[in-house]
Structure formats: structure tokens, C-alpha cells
Amino acid sequence: MDEIEPLTIERIDDVPILLAQLERMQVEEMHVDMNQLTSLPATLCQLTNLETLHVYGNQLGSLPASLGQLTRLKDISVGRNQLGSLPESLWQLIHLQSLNIAENQLASLSESIGNLTDLHTLDLGHNELTALPQSLGKLSNLTFFLYISNNRLTALPESLFENLSNLAYLNATDNQLTALPENIGNLTNLKELRVYNNELAALPESLGNLTNLKELHVMNNKLVTLPESLGHLKNLKELRVSNNRLTALPGSLGNLTPLTHLDLRNNHLTALPGSLGNLRSLMFLDVRANRLVSLPASIGDLTNLEKLDLRWNKLSSLPEWLQRLEQRGCTVFT
């Protein structure tokens, strides 16, 4: 059997003339990203074999109301368009596995999004959302990514975390969140949590349940303390808490033995716990722009440390073990 050559279309501003040909080809994938499309014809829904529809980076102001007829669709990407609303028929596509509606002008989402129970990836970032549907908690197969960054969210619904125990990546950065729900601790398979650039004043103790977490990014918030339970994050490799209001660190941080990066810049710390000396995997420690007057001697035992930044503190003197760190190859900034 001869191999079928893919059909490639470049720089188009309309598609109706192609649809009859595509229907005869029983096309399963359609990629018309980065063009100048302002609309999609209703006749698009004649492509009943379509499983993938990518129209990312166009100028679409709406989607066809008949979109729900494409019952085989598994992957839709309509990010970076000008969508202010979505057709109700979109939520009838119950076999969807990946949905990208980022970088549009969406101010709200239908509760019917909870019908898409096969979704494993959902990108809602860079819109104008002020709240999330309670029904997102029904998406129990959301296992890969949930992006809700760069919106106008002030809170996350507790229902969001009821059934998402298999989620691997959550990005809620660049919102106006003042707190995280206590039941975020249900996300026991989470590998990476990004909630920087918000208004968080505290982190819930339940974060200690996220024992598969490898990266925690909470920079640029209003944190005064960190929960003692963070010491339970036995797989954490990166902890970034710069630009907060921390005055002290929990001693339990010394339990994070896999940690390689610890960023504490621009806080109000006057001391570091001696337990940091237990972090024998630590490679980068940044404590710039705090209020430190002394350093625990145990830091000198960090044999894998490659960079230590102490600038803009109030150290009365430099300990002799700093010279030992430098002699073995660690870069020290004072």
C-alpha cells in the first residue's frame, strides 16, 4: 500500500474550499496553527473522523455551535485566539483528552466542563477568569497538567481537589490567590506545584501530604512562615520561596535530604536552622537580601554545595569554613 502524504496548508485565511476534499480523505487530524483565521465554518463538523483539531494562534472570535457533532475529538487546541465565550456543544465532547483554551478572553466557564471526564490535560491559562467551575473536581482522569495561571482568581474551589489525586503538575501562578484550600493535600501524586506571584499569606499544613512533590515554587507572595509539615516532602528537590516575608524557617527543612536548590532571597530571616546541614545533596543555596547576622556552622558540611550567595545581609563576621567551601570549588558571594 502506498504511503499517504500529509496535507500541509500554510498561510490561509479561510478553509471552506478544503472541507469537501478533507471529508473524502476521512481526515483524522487538522493543524492550521499560526494563521489568520477569523472564523471556522459550520461545515467543519462534516469531518466526522476528526480526532485532533489545532487552530492555535489565529484570530478566532468564536467556535462553531455545531462542534459537538465531532464526537471522536480527543485533542482540541484553540489557544491564543480572541474567544470571549465557548459553545455549549464543546462540553458534549466526552472523549476529549486534551483541551487548550489558553490565551483568550474568557471571563467564565460553564459548569458543563465537568462532563469531560476523559481529560488528562487542561490549559485555562492567560484568560480573564475570576472563578473556576465547581465541576472541575469531577475530572478524575486529569493526570498530566492543569494550567490556571495568569487569570484573576482570588480563590480556588475545594471541589477542585476532591478527585484529582493523580494530577502531576499544577500551575496557578500570576493570580490573586490569598489562600490554598486545605484539601490540596489530596493531590498525592503531584510532582510540581507553582503558585508564585499571588497574595498567599500562609501555606496549608496538608502540603506535607504531597510526598511525591519534586518542585515547590511559592515566590512573590506574602508568606510569613512555612508549615512544619514541609519536612515530610521526602522527594523535594527544589524549594523556591524568594520575595516573601519569612522571619524564620522550620527546623524540619533539614529532613529534605534530596533537596538540590533552596532559594530564600529577599525575606526577613535573621537566622538559619542548623538542620540545613543535613541537606547533603544541596547544590545551590541563595540567602541574599535577608537580615542574617550569623550562619550555622553546619552549612560548612554541605559537601555538594556549588554556589552560596550571602550578599546583602548583616553578617558581623565571615566564618572560617567559608574559605574551606571556596577551596573545594564552591562559589561564595559575600
Q: How far is Cα 58 from Cα 29, in angstroms, rounded to an integer?
A: 17
Query: Nine-digit cell at 327?
Result: 577551596
Q: How far is Cα 167 from Cα 144, in angstroms, rounded to an integer?
A: 6
State the pLDDT at residue 15: 56
Whether the predicted pLDDT of 183 surpasses 90: yes
State the pLDDT at residue 23: 61
Q: Is CATH 3.80.10.10 correct for 246-334? A: yes
Q: Specify the range with the lowest mean pLDDT, choosing from 46-55, 114-123, 143-152, 236-245.
A: 46-55
pLDDT higher for 20 or 168? 168
148, 123 in Cβ contact below 8 A?
no
The confidence band for 4, taking pLDDT boundaries of 50, 70 and 90, is: very low
pLDDT above 70 covers a percentage of the chain that reads 93
DSSP E strand stretches across the chain: 29-31, 52-54, 75-77, 98-100, 121-123, 145-147, 169-171, 192-194, 215-217, 238-240, 261-263, 284-286, 307-309, 331-333
DSSP E strand stretches across 4-120: 29-31, 52-54, 75-77, 98-100
pLDDT tens digit sequence for 287-322: 999 999 999 999 999 999 999 999 999 998 999 999
Q: Specify the range with the lowest mean pLDDT, choosing from 33-37, 43-47, 194-198, 239-243.
A: 43-47
pTM for this prediction: 0.93
State the pLDDT at residue 22: 65
Q: Where are the domains of the chain?
A: 246-334
State the pLDDT at residue 27: 83
Whether the predicted pLDDT of 251 surpasses 90: yes
pLDDT tens digit sequence for 55-96: 999 999 999 999 999 999 999 999 999 999 999 999 999 999
